[in-house]
Amino acid sequence: MGRLLYAVHAYAWTSRWTEESLPLLSRARELGFDAIEIPLMDIESVHPQSIRKEAERLGLRIVTSTVLSEETDVSSPDAAVRRKGLEYLKRCVDVSAEMGALSFSGVIYSALGKRIATIPGREYLERAAEALKKVAQWAQDAQLLVGIEPVNRYETFLINTCDQALELLRMIDEPNMRIHLDSYHMNIEENDFYTPTKKAIPYLCHYHLSESHRGIPGTGTVDWEGIFRALAEGDYQGVVGMESFAEVSDSMRAGTCVWRKMAPSSDVLLREGLAFLKALEKRHFAPSGGKK
């Protein structure tokens, strides 16, 4: 058995999680995944108890994620918006804990897609840190990890790199506050893949192993050898995930900027991508589970 737990994002099949999405858990298991990532953007349509029951039956782990909007932006100068964002994130923690999730993460520090006309002042980070400290404390009773995901400059103005995420982590200063990396965004923002991966490992709760075009891993420009070398050297034992798209629905098209078919089908993408990633793990991690 490998050291890494492989998760598949539900976005591989659906743009919105509802009770009708429940069979996707067994589909994930059939394809060889250890976990599934449940999006919480439409949180009222998520039924945590039914997810937990089915996941336990299948032996499948759960991770959750979300993004903030202009109405829930915890870095906003508007105190009312920050309060709404804090309540939403606490609700996400509660739902994640109720379904037995290992972690809850995402773009939880500012509104996704928000742009400003100047270099952001430190007050944006301070407001985000103040809110996320409360979120992390709220999650501690449930022993839930909370992760901040750096994303590219076209999707946020605030946290684009691993170093920026580490700075925010230091400001929050809570033991269950972690980092969620994504190689798709790193391909745009980082100078290389090995260095930020190695830096993040002590704080890492999740890692989206996404190709440069979000298609089948191994068919783009991501430095997979650098990523897996860092994971092995850092003795990472945790969740990694595929946030990849063969095709997306119209409701997701503008958000993901996927305008063409990236694979023959979701199943082909997931099978081939997972086989590629597991081969990398086998090559970089010793058979006993130790480092090469």
Sign of the Cα torsion 51, 53, 55, 61 reads positive
**Euclidean distance between CA atoms 78 and 83, whole angstroms:** 9
At 101 the three-state DSSP class reads coil
Which entry of 37, 54, 211, 243 is annotated as an active-site residue? 243
CA-based R_g, the chain, Å: 18
Which entry of 37, 54, 149, 190 is annotated as an active-site residue? 149
Q: Please say if 149 is a catalytic residue.
A: yes
**Euclidean distance between CA atoms 229 and 241, whole angstroms:** 17
**Euclidean distance between CA atoms 49 and 27, whole angstroms:** 19
Return all residues near 187 (Cβ < 8 A) that are at least 6 apart. 193, 212, 220, 221, 222
Q: Indicate which residues carry an active-site annotation.
A: 149, 243
